[in-house]
Chains A and B, each alone.
Chain A
Amino acid sequence: NAGVTQTPKFRILKIGQSMTLQCTQDMNHNYMYWYRQDPGMGLKLIYYSVGAGITDKGEVPNGYNVSRSTTEDFPLRLELAAPSQTSVYFCASSFTNRGTEAFFGQGTRLTVV
């Protein structure tokens, strides 16, 4: 009964370093999303995917990359980390059906120093 699993939960990066945030879901959901949550700003969509092999940009894609080689996995890559990428990152997934809710991972708190 894992749902959406994100790793790591916390990470500190130095400016210019790179890292990959992992996300996997075991519910056979078509849709997967990456959001970032900044204080007082709600959740902003970074990238999303409507199925394996298909990804698209959200509102704030700059500085990030994604891939979706399988239905289960949707990793988020940060290249050349910057202080502006300090945030809490959430991965989510949902079925294609419009009315179904998204299920969220527990988030990754990333600090870039």
Chain B
Amino acid sequence: KAGVTQTPRYLIKTRGQQVTLSCSPISGHRSVSWYQQTPGQGLQFLFEYFSETQRNKGNFPGRFSGRQFSNSRSEMNVSTLELGDSALYLCASSLSSGTGVYEQYFGPGTRLTVT
């Protein structure tokens, strides 16, 4: 089974621009989550999507948004980029069925650099 894929792997943007990152989950996984990883703040939860609906959201400004498509693929968008948005953005997918507790499987990440 193919793992979680993220595109692009590396991205350089200028302050004020916007960016869209893409994530394809493992086949059969309906939950997709996004995390931001920085040296200073560590790993922080951005949001989770399930069946095209945002199910949970972390403490990030409204410039960060996402969506999920009917095939479970997800995109996240960051508008009006700031220098502090430079980070590794990780996507993770998991099964989500009933009340079970499932581990998440992570993609390799997209390294975003804002100049």
A binds B: no
Mark B residues whose CB is within 8 Å of A. none
Mark A residues whose CB is within 8 Å of B. none
